[in-house]
Structure 1
Amino acid sequence: MRALPYRVPSEDIIVAEAWVLVTEDGDIAKPESLPDWDYHMDLHLRRTVRVDLGRARSESGLPTDAPLVLAAVWTATGSNLGGPAQHLRLVGGGTCTVELDVRLRGSDLGGLLLLDTALVLAERRPDARPSSPRRAGSVLWSDRESLRLQGDAPQFPMAVIDFARTSFPEGAAWHLQISGGLENATMGSLLLLVNEQNSVTASAFENAAKPRPVDRVVLSAVYADAARIMIEHALSLDDFVDDADFPDGSLGATLMSLFDQLFPSRSITDVRLRHRQSPSLFASELQAAVKIFEVS
C-alpha cells in the first residue's frame, strides 16, 4: 500500500457496489472479459457508491464543510487513451448515495479497460493542518476494477466505408491498413476498413455485440485474415526478433502479443524460416492457430 503524506479515512467510509454493464437486455454484473467486443461496440457502465461524508472529513482532519468529489477515471491499455468519466461534487454531511454512470466510445478503447473510482478533496485548503490533505485532488479513498476487451482475436480500430470511392477493389469485403514503425502506437498504426457495399460483412460488424451464427463465421474469417496480415507484416521486419522489447501499447508489442498467442512454443526465427521456405504450409499452420470457423 502506498503511504500518503497526509491523513486518510478508513476504507469502510465508502461502500462501493460492483460495476454493472448496461445492455439492451438489461443490467448484468461486469464480467472479467468481453470476448465478442470490438471497436464498434460502445460501453455503458454503472455503479452505486455510498459515502459517509462526516467520517471521511473527520478522519482526514478536514473541516465539516470541506467539499469532496467522487470521481471515475478510465484507462485503456490497448489504445493508450484515458480520461475522466464522471465527477460528482459531494457537500453536506451524513451518508450520501450516488450513482456513477459511465459511457465510453468503443473507438477509444481496447486491451484492458481500467476503471478507477476515487474520493478526492475538491478545493485547495491553504489553512489545513500539516497532517491533513490540503491540495485539490488529494486522494482520500480509491479502488480499481478492470474489464478485458480483447479476447483471442486481434482488435483494432475500424471504419465502414464505400470502397467504390477509394482505391481499394470495389468487390473486396475488407482491408487492413498497417502503417508506421514498431515503436508507434497501435491505435495509430492499424485500421480495419469494411466495405459498406458488402452487406454480409458490414452486418456482421454491426451485430458484433450479439452475433448471429452467420455473423460469427464472417467475423472469424475477417479476424483470421487480419491475423495473417499482421503476422506476415511482423515477419517482414528485421527488428521483429525474439528478444525485442517494445513499449506497451505500441504496434510492436501488439504484434509480439499476437505472435506469442498463435505460436506459443515457437521462436520468431523458426516461424520466419517456415514462412520463407514453405509459405503454403505456413498459411495452413496459421489457419490452425487462429482456429478459423471454430464458432459456437
Structure 2
Amino acid sequence: MWTATGSNLSGPAQHLRLTGDGMAAVILDVSLPGADLGGLLLLDTALVLAERRTDARPSSPRRAGSVLWSDRESLRLQGDAPQFPMAVIDFSRTSFPDNAAWHLQISGGLESATMGALLLLVNERNTVTATAFQNAGKPRVVDHIVLSAVYADAARIMLEHALASDDFADGADFPDGSLGATLMSLFDQLFPEQSITDVRLRRERSPALFASDLQAAVKIFEVS
C-alpha cells in the first residue's frame, strides 16, 4: 500500500500470492503516478493470511486477513523546505486586484495537507514576476530580487497565519506533510532557538520590529 501525505491520497501498490515452504525472495515492482504524490511517501508492505485456517493452533493466526508481518518505508519527495503548488493566471479574471503581482492562498486547518492548503498564484499580467518564475532554474539578478521578494512575502503570510492560531504553540506536534508541520519547519528555520511565545508577543507588541526581524531571517535580496 502507498500513502502520500502531500496529496492525502493512498491506494494498493501490488498484491502477490505466496505459495510453498521455506524462504522465498519476492520482488515488488510498482509504478506510481507522480500527479498523485507529494510530501512524504509511505510504503507499507504486509504479509497477510489469504484464507481462514481451520486447523490452526489456538495461539496461531487463523482468520483471513490476519497480518503476519509488516514493514514501513518512507521517502520524502519534497525535502524539508516549505513547498506548495503554484499557478500562473490572469488576475483580471479573478477577484484579485488586476495589478497585483502574486497572491498566496491559505485554507484549511493546521492538520490539513500542505499541498492542499497552500497555493501561490502569480499574475501573468505582471511580466516581471511571471518571467522571474520562468527563469527560476537559471535566474538573472533581477529574477533573484523578485523571487526573494515573493519568498519573503510568502514567509510573512505563512508565519502570521501560524501565529494567529492558538494551536500553533511550543511543543505542538503535527502530522508529517501537514500545514502545521510545514509552518513549524518554516518557523524553526527562520527563528531558531526562539520560542513561538516570544515571537508571537513581539509581533503583537511591535509589528514593525517583527517585519524587520523577518526580513533579516529570510535574507531578503541577498544574491548568492
TM-score (norm 2): 0.70
1:288 deviation in Å? 2.8
Name the aligned partner's letter for residue 134 of structure 2: S
Are positions 1:264 and 2:195 aligned together?
Answer: no
* Alpha carbons of structure 1 residues 127 and 228: separation in structure 2 relative to 1, 3 Å: same
> What's 1:116 paired with?
44
For 1:202 and 1:270, how far apart are their aligned partners in 2?
35
1:229 deviation in Å? 0.7
8 Å CA contact 1:85–1:102 kept in 2: the answer is: no
8 Å CA contact 2:14–2:28 kept in 1: the answer is: no
- 1:186-240 deviation line (CA, Å, top 9, x unaligned): 4553322233555425535xx7xxx3345994655433321111112233x2625
Name the aligned partner's letter for residue 165 of structure 1: R
- 1:137-174 deviation line (CA, Å, top 9, x unaligned): 33344333222244453223444433231122334343
> What's 1:88 paired with?
15
* Alpha carbons of structure 1 residues 75 and 280: separation in structure 2 relative to 1, 3 Å: same
> What's 1:224 paired with?
152
Q: Secondary structure at the match of 2:11?
A: strand
For 1:105 and 1:184, how far apart are their aligned partners in 2?
20
Name the aligned partner's letter for residue 129 of structure 1: A
> What's 2:134 paired with?
203
Q: Which runs of 5 or more structure 2 residues have no equivalent in the other structure?
A: none
8 Å CA contact 2:48–2:65 kept in 1: the answer is: yes
8 Å CA contact 2:156–2:214 kept in 1: the answer is: yes
Are positions 1:139 and 2:70 aligned together?
Answer: no
The root-mean-square deviation of aligned C-alpha atoms, in Å, is: 3.8
Name the aligned partner's letter for residue 148 of structure 1: R
More strand by share: 1
> What's 1:5 paired with?
none
* Alpha carbons of structure 1 residues 101 and 183: separation in structure 2 relative to 1, 3 Å: closer
TM-score (norm 1): 0.56
8 Å CA contact 1:156–1:190 kept in 2: the answer is: yes
* Alpha carbons of structure 1 residues 171 and 87: separation in structure 2 relative to 1, 3 Å: same
* Alpha carbons of structure 1 residues 254 and 134: separation in structure 2 relative to 1, 3 Å: same
* 1:146-161 map, 5 Å: 146-151=74-79, 153-161=81-89
Are positions 1:275 and 2:206 aligned together?
Answer: no
* Alpha carbons of structure 1 residues 160 and 105: separation in structure 2 relative to 1, 3 Å: farther
> What's 1:105 paired with?
34
- 1:103-149 deviation line (CA, Å, top 9, x unaligned): 24356422x3322233333x332435135544443334433322224
* Alpha carbons of structure 1 residues 295 and 140: separation in structure 2 relative to 1, 3 Å: farther
For 1:85 and 1:220, how far apart are their aligned partners in 2?
41
Q: Which runs of 5 or more structure 1 residues have no equivalent in the other structure?
A: 1-72
Are positions 1:162 and 2:90 aligned together?
Answer: yes
8 Å CA contact 2:102–2:120 kept in 1: the answer is: yes
* 1:7-156 map, 5 Å: 73-78=1-6, 81-90=8-17, 98-106=27-35, 108-110=37-39, 112-121=40-49, 123-130=50-57, 132-151=60-79, 153-156=81-84
Question: Identical aligned pairs, as a percentage?
Answer: 65
8 Å CA contact 2:170–2:195 kept in 1: the answer is: no
* Alpha carbons of structure 1 residues 102 and 137: separation in structure 2 relative to 1, 3 Å: farther
More helix by share: 2
For 2:199 and 2:15, how far apart are their aligned partners in 1?
53
> What's 2:175 paired with?
248
Q: Secondary structure at the match of 1:109?
A: coil
* Alpha carbons of structure 1 residues 171 and 278: separation in structure 2 relative to 1, 3 Å: same
Q: Secondary structure at the match of 2:48?
A: strand
1:100 deviation in Å? 1.7
